[in-house]
Structure 1
Amino acid sequence: MNQIKQMFELQQKLNDATNGTIWTEGATKDGRHISWFRCIYMEAAEAIDSFNWKHWKNIEGQPDLDNAKVELVDIWHFIMSEAIHFGDTKFAEAYEDMEPEREINPEPMVEILEKMVAVAASATVDVDKSQNALYEITGIFFKALATMSMDVPELYRRYLVKNQLNTFRQDHGYKEGTYIKIWDAVEDNVIAFHIMEEHPEYTPEQLYKKLEKEYEHVS
């Protein structure tokens, strides 16, 4: 099974557990409206802040490339969710063998992300544009990946970590506000990625079990 298809299956499972299977109809089990396009443009805006775009501040500052990659993975969660909601996931598999740039080129990233914001925001206010917007945003997303020198295997590794961490959070009181996000003065994101770096061969189930073991010592 290709990695893009696997990610869609994991996203379906996460959304079912978090929002109830009714989420594909556009609302959570609690009756809250879902706007995946809004999620996309908000995350894209956060990704823009990873780059030194402010002309009045920190002129020589370097981009936070690692955070930009984290934000791209978050965007991917929401692109897949909209695709599942829309009822078409096959189209994304065309990007399975995408070729990334040899080196990261942060220069055009702000404009790429701004285009994603514009398309997603437009689809939010005009639902008739949603189908074309989904396909266009997906193309923009993989262009962003290539520009950040990321391929699908790297996206998969990073997605796997965030997917299992999100699942773990939901299972341990995230919605109820009882989940502890800081583990011994370190954010859970950092710990989860560190585990995967040490054990790149881990399956989703193995990563989840390791998170459980680490969380036993958190108070």
Structure 2
Amino acid sequence: MMDLQHTHNQQVHPQWHKQDYPFHRAIWTECAELLDHYGWKWWKLQEPDLVQVKLEIVDIWHFGLSMLIVAEQNVVELSEEMTSREQDRSVVGPSFVATVEALAQHALKRRFDTTAFMDMMNALPFSLQDLYGIYKGKNVLNRFRQANGYKEGSYQKFWDGKEDNVHLAELVLTLDPYQSNFLSDLYNQLDNRYRELTAEGQSP
């Protein structure tokens, strides 16, 4: 996943790891968006949108991975620590919202805490295996956005009234993320749907 993240970040800037981008700020902002999808308002009825919650968690993982790459985190140690934390679910309290807030607090201190991240994953619950599958899909979407003018402002994030994340989730369900051609197949399907449903893809 680190290789995929590095490749994506290079589309933003070839020397992205030397630009001092505020990845920590992106994380706590994503935490707030995540809670809106999960529901936290006591003054009205809210049903958790778990698809969007998981997509937001993957967004957080993108930024967290970027921080880990800049910090030159040891990949083997990271994998062992996160797998161990996932297996020891007894360390997690009952409140998903509290774990999101704990992760945000670390981000406000300019840190990405993998233990806090895993506690949030366990509390939902959301497995590392599922994170990997959706991460690959989100990485494809991020590359697709950049290739279609996201940075320049010409990309259309809503296709036929639905956000691209929703289209992504629909398409991922039709594919096997563990197949070797998953990345290319998903990219092609995103491209086909985008051009079919947006004005940019219509013939003049």
* 1:142-192 alpha-carbon deviations (Å, 9 max, x no partner): 111111121111101111111100100000111111112222222221111
Matched position secondary structure for 2:109: helix
Of the candidates 6, 24, 28, which is equivalent to residue 17 of structure 2? 24
Amino acid at match of 1:184: D
- Once residues 15 and 146 of structure 1 are traced to their aligned partners in structure 2, the CA distance between those partners, rounded to angstroms, is 28
CA contact (8 A) 1:164 1:204 kept: yes
Superposition deviation, residue 106 in structure 1: 10
Structure 2 match to 1:212: 191
Superposition deviation, residue 53 in structure 1: 2.7
- Unpaired segments ≥5 residues, structure 1: 1-6, 28-32, 124-132
Amino acid at match of 2:99: I
Instruction: Report the TM-score, using the length of structure 1 for normalisation.
Output: 0.78
CA contact (8 A) 1:100 1:149 kept: no
Alignment of 1:35-74 (within 5 A): 35-55=22-42, 57-58=43-44, 60-74=45-59
Structure 2 match to 1:140: 116
Superposition deviation, residue 215 in structure 1: 2.2
The answer on 1:198 being equivalent to 2:198 is no
Q: 1:38 to 1:96 in 2, by over 3 A?
A: same
Amino acid at match of 2:17: T
- Unpaired segments ≥5 residues, structure 2: 200-204
* 1:124-145 alpha-carbon deviations (Å, 9 max, x no partner): xxxxxxxxx43xx111111111
Count of aligned positions: 190
The answer on 1:155 being equivalent to 2:142 is no
Q: 1:167 to 1:84 in 2, by over 3 A?
A: same
CA contact (8 A) 2:51 2:169 kept: no
CA contact (8 A) 1:106 1:148 kept: no
- Once residues 107 and 65 of structure 1 are traced to their aligned partners in structure 2, the CA distance between those partners, rounded to angstroms, is 17
Amino acid at match of 2:189: K
Matched position secondary structure for 1:216: helix
Of the candidates 9, 23, 26, which is equivalent to residue 15 of structure 1? 9
CA contact (8 A) 1:100 1:146 kept: no
- Once residues 178 and 106 of structure 1 are traced to their aligned partners in structure 2, the CA distance between those partners, rounded to angstroms, is 44
Superposition deviation, residue 96 in structure 1: 4.0
- Once residues 95 and 103 of structure 2 are traced to their aligned partners in structure 1, the CA distance between those partners, rounded to angstroms, is 13
Of the candidates 75, 86, 95, which is equivalent to residue 60 of structure 2? 75
Amino acid at match of 1:24: H
Matched position secondary structure for 2:153: coil
Structure 2 match to 1:4: none
Aligned residues with identical type, % of pairs = 31
Q: CA RMSD in A?
A: 2.2
Amino acid at match of 1:190: V
